[in-house]
Amino acid sequence: MAEIAVEPEVIYQGIPASPGIAIGPLHVMARGFSAPEVYEILESDIPREQERFHEALDVTKRQLAELQQRLESLSGGKESDIFEAHQMLLEDRAVVDRVSDAIAERCQNAEYAFYAVMQNFLEAMRRIPDPYLRERTADIEDVCQRVLRNFKAEESEVRHVAPSDGQHILIAYDFTPSDTAAMNRRHILGFAAELGSVNSHTAILARALGIPAVLGLDGTVIDLQTLTPGILDGYAGKLILHPSAETLARYEALSAEKAKVRSALEAMKGAATDTTDGRAITLSANVELIDELPLVKRSGAKGIGLYRTEFLLLNGEEMPDETQQADVYTKLAKELSPHTVIVRTLDAGGDKLPVEPLTDPEPNPFLGWRGIRVSLSRPAMFKDQLRAILRASAHGKIAVMFPLVSGLSEVKRARTILRECMDEFDKASIPFNPDLPVGVMIEVPSAAVCADLLAPEVDFFSIGTNDLIQYTVAVDRVNPHVADLYRPTHPAVIRLIKKTIDAGNDHGIWTGVCGEMAGDIRLTPLLIGLGVEELSVGPHQVPRVGQAVRSLSHAECAAMSDEALKKAHSYEILGLSLSLARKYYGNLLD
């Protein structure tokens, strides 16, 4: 059982972004410079830690003085004046005294006490309206990082008291999608941030990875301290500090109850996902990183319905070359055989990872250079990716899917380039699957409206509901001011999904859903009723969605969806679907 704090319980309310309970110490991460190791110290060690702090300041001052002299001799101008500002910060009595006091009050090592004090100082500066002052934060971050490097850890004889076991609740001002994807899941119990919405890619990835998350904790990070005992409630969107004995017991009981439900679902993994009246629904997984392969295999997913290749950009500013990509895709194909792996070509831009730095920022990146538009404008890069996919297709069941298609011309241009790659492979006698399945993502209303024109050109549709909703109702899903207007069950959205499915059926191709709606078991009855044949969800969501599918009758869902298509309000459509969900698997609903 976690240690019970004697300090009064404090509750912060945010947005429930990813379900789950996390109980453990906080680790507060600042923007701009890396956090050092944190550990508690004995009271008798406080003077030595304060001395280590002053030694690090002295070393930094000498370094800055040398840099200033060197720059003056080289330039002869006033460029070296910037280091005077750095020196002033290091000699600021208020700053120095606050760090010394923090070491004593927190009973934490000097490095972290310095980091925590400067983090709060920087966060306060970032909130200042004056743009000039805000820009000075980069200078302060630079000198702070230098001070941290100058701590001599090897000279410290500080005894660690109650060292962290490495597992913690991560707290930050904001998390990017790449931050979330790169999290070490062995150490992170859950995370919370000031910014973000339930529909942001950060939240989407958290749900896919099974990490409890709370976002929208406006203005709280500046007041939080690392090692504070806490509880993160991803169901209700709460961050609780210094939980009382009663609160702790209640959440431990809730966590145990949820664990029982998970165990029951685990026992069913791998079972066929057919409805009670025999309609087969393919249940596959969305994947960002190759490291998730073990998760996918344990989940019981029947292949990968969406491999997001933009996360290959995490390790650099450019896409890996053809050989490196082919190695990744081949590994996926071999590991998941005999199931299919659908590789989505690069979907960069918008609120996702950038494919390359832009000279001028886009005024509206959501309506700009992203998805298939990037690939078609960078044909050499696009061909590298298509050739890599073709190489992998010789080793297992691989399909390719083009993102953010808005009309027929883009599909034809993409297929022409694919055909060129196939011809090159034929001439070079490089093995590949000549019948490689090709699909498109339906994410733009124009694509849904003309789905009947696209269907003859492809082998399947995959509906990316996140963007389809965003573009249909004209709501930036990461904007908190309009987040309440982002409604998956908006009548227009449901009608576009139905139109897409019907167009696919008319031309003999299947339609799946790989967006967030696929993993929302409140909406599983609606999607099955509309005629979806495949659902692709986060690996952690597979068992729950699978059990939901197995609990439903397709005929009953179809009758309900016919009724839903007549409704004028999103809450009415949600209510119809939710009523069936509660009737057949109410225990699975969070």
Judge whether 443 is annotated as a binding position: yes
Rounded Cα distance between 513 and 462, Å, is 5
Helix/strand number for the chain, H first, E second:
22, 16
Judge whether 344 is annotated as a binding position: yes
201 carries an active-site annotation: yes
Per-residue burial over 319-334, b if 16 or more Cβ lie within 10 Å, else e, is bbebeebbebbbbbbe
Rounded Cα distance between 87 and 99, Å, is 16
Rounded Cα distance between 442 and 403, Å, is 8
Sign of the Cα torsion 450, 453, 455, 457 reads negative
Task: Give me the half-sphere count of Cα atoms (radius 13 Å) on the Cβ side of residue 120.
Answer: 15
Cis peptide upstream of residue 294 (ω within 30 degrees of 0): no
Rounded Cα distance between 384 and 322, Å, is 5
DSSP conformation class of 36 = -
Contact 348, 370 (CB under 8 A): yes
**Which residues have C-beta within 8 Å of that of residue 337, sequence separation ≥ 6?**
396, 397
Q: What is the DSSP string of 435-469?
A: T--EEEEE-SHHHHHTHHHHGGG-SEEEE-HHHHH
Judge whether 419 is annotated as a binding position: no
User: Do the strands 229-233 and 15-18 form a parallel or antiparallel pair, or are they unpaired?
Assistant: unpaired
- Which residue in the list 86, 201, 395, 490 is annotated as catalytic? 201
Rounded Cα distance between 552 and 580, Å, is 8
- Which residue in the list 144, 421, 514, 557 is annotated as catalytic? 514
Contact 226, 112 (CB under 8 A): yes
Judge whether 466 is annotated as a binding position: yes
Rounded Cα distance between 286 and 385, Å, is 19
Whole-angstrom CA distances from 389 to 294, 327, 346, 422, 463 are 21, 10, 12, 11, 21
SS (H, E, C) 128-160: CCCHHHHHCHHHHHHHHHHHHHCCCHHHCCCCC
Per-residue burial over 538-564, b if 16 or more Cβ lie within 10 Å, else e, is bbbbbbbbbbbbbbbbbebbbebbeeb
339 carries an active-site annotation: no
Strand order in the sheet with 213-215: 10-13, 238-241, 229-233, 21-29, 168-172, 188-193, 213-215, 15-18
Rounded Cα distance between 219 and 310, Å, is 32
Query: Which residues are known to be catalytic?
Result: 201, 514
- Residues in binding site: 308, 344, 443, 466-467, 477
- Residues in binding site for phosphoenolpyruvate: 308, 344, 466-467, 477
- Residues in binding site for Mg(2+): 443, 467
